[in-house]
Structures are given as structure tokens and as C-alpha cells.
Amino acid sequence: VQLVESGGGLVQPGGSMRLSCTASGFTSDDFAIAWFRQAPGKEREAVSCFSLRDADTYYPNSVKGRFTTSSDSARNTVYLQMNGLKPEDTAVYYCAAEFPSYCGSYSSDYEPRSWDFWGQGTQVTVSS
């Protein structure tokens, strides 16, 4: 099982960016993909979740209305569309997969150690 992120880089405040997470090696679609981020000196936090089984999603209040997650099942890819980016969104962004496919409704559902597989991370920097 492998997750590969792409799409990070430098963007100005107020700008947009789309991250991609491509999954390989999965034998079923009964899993969820979450995007986490970690800024220097801070804990890793979930910013979205997408359930491939029922398309359920999750966003914390810090990104709700700005970030959107979606999937392209033909490409085994989950996206994170980020709009209205702020300097405080600067972090390394990781995608992670968990079996079975479930997106909890609370931040406490996203303890990083409970997620089974991780990508290598991609840097997102929001700066003028």
C-alpha cells in the first residue's frame, strides 16, 4: 500500500492550491483518506476526511468553507482543494488512509496514530 502526495508549493495569501493523494496497492475501496497538516512546533491535525465508501466528509472549523475534499475513483486519487489560503495554513500536508471507510464528526476521531498508512508529505507555504 502506498500513498503519494503532490501539488504543494508557495502561494500568496488569499490564493488557492490543490493537493492530490494517489493510492496504490489497495484491494478494496473500504477505506477513508484524511489530510493532515503539521506546522513547526505544532501537533499534527486533520483538516479533512473523505470516505470512499459513502462520500462522507469532515472538516474542522479552522478550514470549513475554505477547503474541499473530493475523489476521482478512476485515478484512485483524493484531492484537497484549498481556497482563501492564510499564512497560518503553512505546514507540511500529509494524506493518510484508514480501514474501514469512516469519517468521524469530531477532531478526537483523528488521532494520527490510528491511521494505518501515510504519504511522504508535501510542503505548503502561504506567504507574500
β-pair type (77-82, 67-72): antiparallel
Q: Burial level of 76, CB count in 10 A (0-12/13-18/19+)? A: middle
CA distance 62 to 60: 5
pLDDT digits (tens, 9 = 90+) for 80-101: 999 999 999 999 999 999 988 8
pLDDT digits (tens, 9 = 90+) for 105-123: 988 999 999 998 999 999 9
pLDDT the model gives residue 16:
98
